[in-house]
Structure 1
Amino acid sequence: MSYFISTTLENVSFEEAIEKLTANLKEQGFGVLTDIDIQATFKAKLDVDFKKYRILGACNPNFAIKAISAEDKIGVFLPCNVVVTENSNGQVEIAAVDPIASMISVGNENLEALAADVRERLTTAVKTL
C-alpha cells in the first residue's frame, strides 16, 4: 500500500496548481491551516537553492473532531499534508497523505470508516485537478 495519493499536472503553473488544489480541497470540506514553503525555508535557513516545494496542511473539522474523539493522540497525524512540487521538466506533482495507510499504525477499528471517507475526499481533490 502506498502512503500517498498523487497526480502529475502538465501545462499548469505551480501557483495555478496550488489555487486549484485549494479550491478542490474546499469543495471537499477541507481548509488549508498551514502552508509551508520549503524552497523559501531552505534558502533562508540553509542558503540552499531547492525546487518549488510547498506543504499544505488540510483539515476537515468534522472529521478531525470525530477522529480525536475516537483516538485522543490522533492529532499527531493532523492536519492531512498535501505536497505540491515542481519537477525539473516543469510538471507539477501533487501528493496527499493516504489516511488509511496512516491509520494502520493506530490500530483503532473505530477510525477505519472515517479514514476511508477522508481518503475518498482527498483522492477527489487531488485527482480532479
Structure 2
Amino acid sequence: MAFGVQKLVHQPHGVVLGRVRAALDAEGFVVLTPHDVADAFDQAFGLEIPPQVTLGVCTPGLAHATLQADPSVGLLVPCSVVVRAADPGRTVVEASRLHLIVALTGDRALEPAVADADARLRAACDRLADLSCP
C-alpha cells in the first residue's frame, strides 16, 4: 500500500517550498504545523541533512469531520506534505494519500471529507507546472 505520492521537481528547494505552500493555500489547505526537519536535526542532534520541511496540512472540512467521527483520528491529521532537497537543483515533494484515513479507521462516514480533501490536494499538485500528480 502506498502511503503517499512522490514527485521530483527540477527547481531548488526554496523555490519549490514557496510554490507548494501557495498551491496548498489556493486549494483551501491550512498549514497547521510547518516543521523544518533539517534545522531540528541540527539543533537536537548536531546532524546536517539536506533541506527538508514537513508541512502538516488540513482542510477545515476534513479536520472537523475526522475529529467529530473519532477524536483519536487526530493521530492521522494533519496530513503531511514533505518538501526535501534531492540536490541543489532538484526537489522531492511527497504528499500523504488521504484514503489511508478511511482505510486505517474503517469509518466509511469519513469518505466524503477525505475525497474532497484528496481532490484538493491533487489540484494543489496540478498547480505546480513541474508536477503531474496522479
Matches within 5 A, 1:1-129: 1-10=1-10, 12-88=11-87, 90-129=89-128
Number of residue pairs aligned between Structure 1 and Structure 2: 128
How many Å separate the matches in 2 of 1:100 and 1:91? Answer: 28
- The residue number in structure 1 matching 2:132 is none
Taking structure 2 as the reference length, the TM-score comes to: 0.87
* Alpha-carbon offset, residue 82 of structure 1: 0.5
Whether the aligned pair in 1 keeps the contact of 2:12 and 2:88 (CA below 8 Å) is no
C-alpha distance in 2 between matches for 1:5 and 1:126: 10
Structure 1: runs of 5+ lacking an equivalent: none
Q: 1:113 to 1:62 in 2, by over 3 A?
A: closer
Q: AA paired with 2:127?
A: T
TM-score (norm 1): 0.90
Q: What amino acid is the match of 2:39?
A: A
In percent, how many aligned pairs have the same letter?
26
